[in-house]
Amino acid sequence: MKIKRIYDKPEPDDGYRMLVDRLWPRGISKEAAALNEWNKEIAPSTDLRQWFNHTPELFSEFKKRYRQELKTKAGELKRIKSIARQQNLTLLYAAKDPAINQAVVLLEILKKK
């Protein structure tokens, strides 16, 4: 299980490619994305995403709030974990910062479960 930007070239070892953003990334075609799934359900809520706005100083609080949201998505987390047990899973995100985005938080949670 790993994360990477959707703008990075798809690789054979990506396995199952899941976009975990609520909005479609700008400037990338569906063909270039080479997705298996666009999972809007697991992405942060619109309110949380807009509040955070990828502001580094807010990341710690964003993590707490996003984890709270994910507590209501136990079934979806279980399904994603099941995919990861069967094959490589790559969680894709569009944010510019590889350390400050929802995929980082989601990966931490999936690895703990």
Scored b (16 or more CB within 10 A) or e, 63-80 reads: bebbeebbeeeeeebeeb
Tokens of 110: 């999936």
- In the block, tokens 């899973």 appear at 89
Q: Domain tally for the chain?
A: 1
Q: What pTM value is reported for the model?
A: 0.95
Per-residue pLDDT tens over the stretch 31-72? 999 999 999 999 999 999 999 999 999 999 999 999 999 999
∠ at Cα 56 (38, 89), nearest 5°? 30
Tell me the residue range of the domain where 59 lies: 2-112
Percent of the chain exceeding pLDDT 90 equals: 98
